[in-house]
Amino acid sequence: MENHYQVRSATPADVPALSAIERTVFADPWTPAAFRELLGPYSLVATDDGSVTGYVFARVMSDEAEVLNLAVRKDVQRKGIGRHLLDAIFESFRKRGVREVYLEVRVSNAAGQAFYERLGFRQVGRRRSYYDKPREDALILARQLDPSAKSA
């Protein structure tokens, strides 16, 4: 099935849609100010007919990157949007020479862990009591990137 959504850089005009998705997906959502503060080259949105369906926010430090936030609107989850967003951000990372990508996921989020594992992430650590609402540990996941490779 061909995906009909587009990936582009997030803009200040997207913040209300990002916040709305965030509030429905996460128990402890980011604020609109947090989204505005992190807008930049590693903040992407997926859109369908102009409507934001998902987003990814990340940061790069030297040859490492961290995925800070990834979410897809509940009514369009499991349609490849999250993978498409990560493929796009990985391509940006490769252009910067990033060799390893990190992220955290709740220990109770089995679906998220399975998703990231399918994309080549592996567990490299654990942060105790990392999340609030509810208080919960985070698994630290990592994935190697080949800067010369293209996204799969």
Question: What amino acid positions are annotated as catalytic residues?
Answer: 104, 116
CA dist 94 and 5 (Å) reads 23
Q: How far is CA 40 from the centre of its chain?
A: 14
Find all residues with CB under 8 Å of 27, minimum gap 6, and list them.
133, 134
Question: Measuring CA to CA, which residue among 91, 101, 38 is closest to residue 67?
Answer: 101
